């Protein structure tokens, strides 16, 4: 939970998603209610039961963005993070041209899986090709902290930097930790967010085995929902102490006012509404917000049979009568469930709602479910004032992280 003290401004954002490169491409797709879920592109697709996914377009070419010395060091997960970080830092207008500024700048990036593409490729060489020697860069590409380290190296940032791994809550946990660093006075600026790229044969087979994947599309909160749809991408943000941003004339995109973090301490998979209630309540209290101050909740909304009713009950418990006046939507219906990157992609949606007064919809919504009885902004974006918003992330393992934001 953010402790009282310095205010937190968000001054830059960047993204790579199934909508393509750039935060604007992501936001425009979401506000249009366009789903980027499409047939799975994979060399072994015919051997898989997975039929659909939200994948970064084939037009993404890492050789365009990274030189021949850098690219061999980068798993796809790190490539996404670096590209999103470039966009966020450029929008923030930051220049680190003094040693003291670099010491006061940190990096915290979350990922649920890490360098899965590197792991998968090297496992294929080891077990399918009987290779006796693997790529010597396997460890530095695959390690979960590689995206954080690569961003730190790219900008020469020497403040406290680390990776965060908490499954589907990784992004929100990373952003919360970034805010804590600023509030604690350990940094003035933190580059933070989440990244994921795990469309390997082994990962897809593992997800198939869980039997939580939809075979058509993602329909959060809809009565005919059939499960989640995997996605990939990255979202990266520049967080600054408000006084630091104001001193250099930066214009905040929004203010991060609070966070809430909790653990269900129960089932490794099944969600417990009590954990979600605790995280949302903490975020409101931490941000000095009454339930009535919030106009929009970007829901975790995976489209699974278990998550959606559980989250609905939690929202009702936290917001009481005001729950019926909330706009609630799940943008996973459009950019897919990008696991450790999901919260970061969803923060782009929340920032868009706060800045433009447009709430992105829950796409693919067809029939109401009596167990899911909130206003899910079905299929079409809604123009409405958004003063404050919550962004929910609830992970396997019962790990919960919620961000509270206000219009700047």
Q: How far apart are CA 38 and CA 242, in angstroms?
A: 41
pLDDT at 98: 77
| Cβ density class 307-342: b for 16+ within 10 Å, e for less | bbbbbbbbbbebbeebbeebbbbbbbbbbbbbbbbb
Residue 56 CA to residue 63 CA, distance in Å, equals: 15
| Residue 337 a catalytic site member | yes
Query: Annotated catalytic residue: which of 168, 198, 218, 372?
Result: 168
Give the DSSP letter string of 16-81.
Answer: EETTEESHHHHHHHHHTT----EE---TTGGG-S--EEB---TT--HHHHS-TTTGGG--HHHHHH
For residue 274, what are the CA distances in angstroms to 286, 318, 382? 18, 10, 30
pLDDT of residue 101: 81
* Enclosing H/E stretch for 284: helix 273-286
d(CA 350, CA 357): 10
Task: Say what the pLDDT of residue 15 is.
Answer: 99
Backbone phi, psi, residue 163, to 5°? -95, 160
* Residue 4, pLDDT score: 58
DSSP state of 361: P
Spot the catalytic one: 198, 218, 244, 300: 300
- Inter-CA distances, 395 with 41, 68, 174, Å: 26, 37, 13
The radius of gyration of the chain from alpha carbons, rounded to an integer in Å, stands at 20
- Determine which helix (DSSP H) or strand (DSSP E) holds 193, and give its type and residue range: strand 189-196
Classify the C-alpha dihedral 137-141-145-148 as positive or negative: positive
Could you give the count of Cα atoms lying within 13 Å of 173 in the half-sphere of its Cβ? Answer: 23
Nearest to 395 by CA among 327, 323, 338: 338
Chunk the chain into consecutive blocks of 10 residues (it has 408) and report each block's average pLDDT, rounded to whole numbers: 77 98 98 98 96 97 97 98 98 87 95 96 95 96 98 97 98 98 96 98 97 97 98 98 96 98 97 98 98 98 97 98 98 98 98 98 97 98 98 98 97
Q: pLDDT by residue (tens digit) across 91-121?
A: 999 988 877 789 999 999 999 999 999 999 9
Q: What is the pLDDT of residue 1?
A: 54
Q: Please tell me the distance from the alpha carbon of residue 327 to that of residue 307, in angstroms, as a whole number.
A: 18
Task: Indicate whether this model's pTM tops 0.95.
Answer: yes
Active site residue 42: no
Provide CB contacts within 8 A for 125, sequence distance 6+. Answer: 131, 134
Show the domains of the chain with their CATH numbers: 8-247 (3.40.47.10), 258-406 (3.40.47.10)
Q: How far is CA 78 from the centre of its chain?
A: 15
């Amino acid at each position: 939970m953010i402790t009282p003290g310095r205010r937190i401004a968000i001054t830059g954002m960047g993204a790579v998603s199934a909508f393509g490169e750039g935060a604007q491409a992501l936001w425009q797709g979401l506000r249009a209610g366009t789903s980027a879920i499409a047939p799975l592109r994979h060399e072994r697709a015919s051997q898989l039961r997975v039929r659909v996914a939200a994948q970064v377009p084939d037009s993404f070419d890492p050789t365009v963005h990274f030189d021949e010395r850098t690219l061999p060091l980068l798993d796809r997960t790190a490539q996404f993070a670096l590209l999103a970080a470039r966009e966020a830092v450029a929008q923030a207008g930051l220049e680190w041209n003094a040693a003291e500024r670099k010491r006061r700048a940190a990096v915290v990036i979350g990922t649920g899986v890490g360098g899965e593409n590197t792991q998968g490729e090297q496992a294929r060489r080891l077990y399918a090709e009987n290779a006796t020697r693997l790529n010597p860069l396997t460890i530095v590409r695959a390690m979960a902290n590689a995206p954080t380290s690569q961003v730190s190296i790219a900008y020469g940032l020497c403040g406290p930097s680390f990776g965060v791994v908490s499954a589907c809550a990784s992004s929100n946990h990373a952003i919360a930790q970034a805010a804590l660093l600023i509030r604690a006075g350990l940094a003035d600026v933190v580059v933070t967010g989440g990244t994921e790229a795990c469309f390997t044969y082994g990962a897809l087979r593992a997800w198939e085995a869980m039997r939580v994947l939809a075979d058509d599309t993602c329909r959060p909160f809809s009565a005919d929902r059939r499960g989640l749809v995997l996605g990939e991408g990255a979202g990266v943000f520049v967080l600054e102490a408000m006084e630091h941003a104001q001193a250099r004339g930066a214009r905040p995109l929004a203010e991060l006012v609070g966070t809430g973090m909790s653990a269900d301490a129960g089932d490794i998979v099944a969600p417990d509404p009590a954990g979600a209630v605790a995280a949302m309540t903490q975020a409101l209290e931490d941000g000095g917000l009454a339930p009535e101050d919030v106009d929009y909740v970007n829901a975790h909304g995976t489209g699974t049979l278990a998550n959606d009713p559980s989250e609905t009950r939690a929202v009702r418990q936290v917001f009481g009568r005001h729950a019926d006046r909330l706009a609630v939507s799940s943008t996973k219906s459009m950019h897919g469930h990008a696991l450790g990157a999901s919260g970061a992609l969803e923060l782009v949606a929340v920032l868009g709602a706060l800045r433009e007064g447009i709430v992105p919809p829950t796409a693919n919504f067809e029939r109401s479910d009596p167990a899911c009885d909130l206003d899910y902004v079905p299929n079409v974006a809604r123009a409405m004032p958004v003063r404050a918003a919550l962004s929910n992330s609830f992970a396997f393992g019962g790990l919960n992280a919620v961000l509270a934001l206000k219009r700047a």
